[in-house]
């Protein structure tokens, strides 16, 4: 028996996850040994760990891609940037949580520890290149998020949301796992890189079995990223979870799940690019259109943001579909609108996906941040806490918040000069370049429809009078810090995306591709 030669260099790729896990352990131990009256140190420890982990990930993001841990994982700029985005989102969410929990006398080390565990799982998920490793890391982040959803039980909603999330999460995990088992049977390996060749053969010899297996894996991911028609859990779960946890779901969980999806399908898709591209395109259309249409009638802003999160998953799926060539097979690609011969410029597609993830993380953390400060402890369980009327006249009562919220809404709607616009521009351009002009047009139309419900909030904030009995919302320094930081990022990255966009389009983004 030969033990693997583990050196410090082998641990370097998982360093961000180690930092996060170590931070979580410190938090858990501090609950035992450091029982002071003030508990603000908890948020500081969590914030420090996430910033440190993000910094470590950013420092490694410029190294060439290579396989680590006997090929079970890879370290490439793609995984490092996803970790950076996750850590950014986590830092914002921790800042939101600090005030949210203090106001409800629920500051506990376990809460932040679970968040850090979830982030460690996300970081590891982004680099997993083997189905079982990927499954376990997916479970690390899911299990932590299930528990976080039920963390703050005021009334029955959080427990029910957690239960719904748990059952559908476990169900989707089972689908993914069974698909992986079948893929293992067909190919004789669980390593994505080794699977490509045997799977290509199997696509000809046993097309049914291979297609069923791929479909099961895809369905598992579609549940996780809440793609239509696998989205039905998302609105209830997003609404029932504590608002900072919802922010983590929409920012971190989504980014990590997409990283896993891209990783799996970039390898497995090579076995039969046309089928995979067609499936991804169909899912993208359904999700973009469905998410936006379902969000239109919502007056409950938290629920509206949940549907909007579904719609954004659709744009991201469009970006993923753009990674595959579409020689006239994509939905609507065979229309006369198609320009020239499509050529996949994968660097552009990665740039689109990563920049979009960054844009969505920053904007949604900010939007949920405003929502969390408008929500009051006394609201209890009622859905009125998130009603559109809460935003009436916000511009007179808290002009700073109103301006920040307007920036987040413009960014989510994809209106310049915000980061959301740049994200959409990059994704749609990558889609058009790879021959998905029809899909890109549907995406633009869907986001134009989506602008209605985002701008409605802006109208309420600036043009409606404040309710007479309106209680002035309190100010919170940590949340305000997060709001200012994300608002600045939304505008700054929207105006000058240069350096960041260059980072995201460096060559050799993805392990195993040119």
The residue from 29, 44, 188, 495 that contacts another protein (CB under 8 A) is 188
CA distances from 234 to 119, 302, 382 (A): 20, 11, 19
CB 219 → another protein: shortest distance, Å? 10
**Beta pairing, strands 73-75 & 66-68:** antiparallel
Site residues for another protein, 438-477, by CB under 8 A, read: none
Q: Does 66 bind another protein (CB under 8 A)?
A: no
Residue selected from 40, 62, 64, 159 as contacting another protein according to rule CB under 8 A: 159
> From the CB of 298, what's the least distance to another protein, in Å?
7
- Torsion sign across C-alpha atoms 321, 327, 328, 333: positive
Binder of another protein out of 39, 157, 254, 312 (CB under 8 A): 157
Residues in CB range of 363: below 8 A, 6 or more apart: 408, 411, 412, 418, 419, 420, 486, 490
Q: Which stretch binds another protein (CB under 8 A): 92-100, 154-162, 268-276, 338-346?
A: 154-162
For another protein, the binding residue among 100, 111, 258, 356 (CB under 8 A) is 111
> Which of 146/368 has CB closer to another protein?
146
Question: In this chain, which of 76, 99, 239, 433 binds another protein, going by CB under 8 A?
Answer: 239
Pick out residues in 298-327 that bind another protein (CB under 8 A): 298-300, 303
Which member of 29, 44, 339, 383 binds another protein (CB under 8 A)?
Answer: 383
| Residue of 108, 200, 397, 429 that binds another protein (CB under 8 A) | 108
Binding of another protein by 3 (CB under 8 A): yes
Q: Which of 92, 121, 450, 497 binds another protein (CB under 8 A)?
A: 121
Displacement of CA 338 from its chain's centroid (Å): 31
492 binds another protein (CB under 8 A): no
Phi and psi (nearest 5°) for 510?
A: -125, 135
Pick between residue 114 and residue 268 the one whose CB is nearest to another protein. Answer: 114
| Whether the Cβ atoms of residue 210 and residue 202 lie closer than 8 Å to each other | yes
Q: Would you say 140 or 430 has its CB closer to another protein?
A: 140
Which CB atom, from 220 or from 325, has the smaller least distance to another protein? 220
Binding-residue pattern over the window 338 to 377 for another protein, x denoting contact by CB under 8 A: ----------------------------------------
How crowded is residue 274: how many other Cβ atoms within 10 Å of its Cβ? 15
Cα(496)–Cα(493) distance, integer angstroms? 5
- 194-233 binders of another protein (CB under 8 A): 205-206, 208-209, 212
Residue 4 binds another protein (CB under 8 A): yes
**DSSP assignment string, 366-414:** HHHHHHHHHS-GGGTT-GGGGBGGGGTTHHHH-HHHHHHHHHHHHHHHT
The single residue among 12, 103, 189, 396 that binds another protein, judged by CB under 8 A, is 189
DSSP-derived secondary structure for 62-127: TSPPEEETTTTEEE-HHHHHHHHHHHHHHHHHHHHHHHHHHHTT---HHHHHHHHHHHHHHHHHHH
Smaller CB distance to another protein: residue 127 or 419?
127
Q: How far apart are the first and last CA of the chain?
A: 36
State which residue, 103 or 345, has the beta carbon closest to another protein.
Answer: 103
Interaction of residue 113 with another protein, rule CB under 8 A: yes
Whether the bond between 229 and the residue before it is cis, its omega within 30 degrees of 0, is: yes
Quick check: 264 binds another protein (CB under 8 A)?
A: no
Q: What is the CA radius of gyration of the chain?
A: 22
Question: Exposed, middle or buried: residue 410 (CB in 10 Å: 0-12, 13-18, 19+)?
Answer: buried
For position 146 contacting another protein by CB under 8 A, the verdict is yes
Shortest reach from residue 193's CB to another protein, in Å? 14
Q: Tell me: does residue 481 bind another protein (CB under 8 A).
A: no
Are the CB atoms for 277 and 330 separated by under 8 Å?
A: yes
Number of residues that bind another protein (CB under 8 A): 79
- Residue numbers 25-44 binding another protein by CB under 8 A: 28
Q: Does 267 bind another protein (CB under 8 A)?
A: no
Nearest distance in Å: CB 69, another protein: 4
Q: Which of 359, 416, 367 is nearest to 88 (CA)?
A: 359
Per DSSP, the three-state class of 364 is helix
């Amino acid at each position: 028996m030969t033990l693997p030669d583990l050196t410090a260099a082998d641990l370097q790729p998982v360093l961000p996850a180690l930092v996060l896990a170590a931070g979580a352990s410190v938090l858990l131990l501090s609950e035992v040994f450091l029982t002071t009256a003030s508990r603000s140190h908890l948020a500081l420890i969590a914030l420090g760990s996430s910033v440190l982990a993000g910094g470590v990930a950013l420092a490694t993001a410029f190294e060439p891609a290579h396989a680590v841990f006997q090929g079970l994982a890879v370290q490439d700029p793609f995984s490092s940037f996803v970790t950076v985005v996750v850590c950014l989102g986590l830092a914002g969410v921790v800042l939101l949580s600090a005030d949210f929990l203090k106001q409800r006398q629920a500051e506990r080390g376990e809460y932040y520890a679970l968040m850090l565990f979830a982030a460690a799982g996300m970081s590891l998920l982004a680099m997993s290149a083997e189905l079982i490793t990927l499954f376990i890391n997916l479970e690390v982040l899911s299990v932590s998020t299930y528990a976080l959803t039920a963390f703050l039980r005021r009334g029955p909603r959080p427990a029910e949301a957690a239960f719904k999330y748990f059952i559908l999460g476990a169900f989707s995990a089972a689908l993914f796992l069974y698909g992986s088992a079948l893929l293992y049977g067909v190919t004789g390996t669980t390593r994505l890189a080794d699977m490509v060749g045997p799977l290509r053969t199997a696509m000809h010899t046993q097309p049914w079995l291979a297609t069923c297996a791929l479909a099961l894996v895809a369905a598992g991911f579609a549940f996780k990223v809440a793609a239509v028609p696998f989205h039905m859990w998302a609105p209830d779960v997003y609404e029932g979870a504590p608002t900072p946890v919802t922010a983590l779901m929409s920012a971190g969980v989504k980014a990590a799940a997409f990283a896993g999806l891209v990783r799996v399908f970039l390898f497995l898709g090579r076995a039969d690019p046309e089928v995979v591209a067609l499936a991804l395109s169909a899912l993208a259309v359904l999700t973009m259109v469905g998410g936006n249409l379902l969000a239109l009638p919502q007056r409950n802003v938290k629920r509206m943001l949940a549907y909007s999160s579904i719609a954004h998953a659709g744009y991201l799926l469009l970006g993923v579909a753009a990674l595959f060539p579409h020689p006239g097979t994509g939905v609507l690609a065979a229309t006369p609108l198609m320009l020239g011969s499509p050529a996949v410029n994968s660097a552009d597609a990665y740039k689109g996906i990563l920049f979009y993830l960054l844009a969505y993380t920053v904007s949604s953390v900010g939007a949920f941040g405003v929502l969390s400060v408008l929500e009051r402890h006394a609201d209890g369980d009622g859905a009125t806490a998130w009603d559109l009327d809460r935003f009436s006249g916000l511009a007179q009562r808290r002009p700073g918040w109103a301006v920040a919220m307007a920036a987040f809404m413009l960014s989510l709607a994809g209106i310049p000069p915000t980061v959301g616009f740049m994200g959409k521009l990059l994704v749609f351009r990558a889609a058009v370049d790879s021959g998905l002009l029809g899909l890109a047009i549907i995406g633009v139309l869907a986001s134009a429809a989506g602008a209605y419900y985002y701008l409605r909030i802006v109208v309420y904030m600036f043009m409606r009078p404040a309710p007479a009995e309106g209680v002035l919302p309190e100010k919170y320094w940590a949340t305000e810090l997060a709001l200012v930081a994300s608002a600045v990022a939304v505008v700054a990255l929207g105006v000058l995306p240069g350096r960041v966009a260059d980072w995201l389009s460096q060559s050799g983004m993805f392990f195993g591709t040119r």
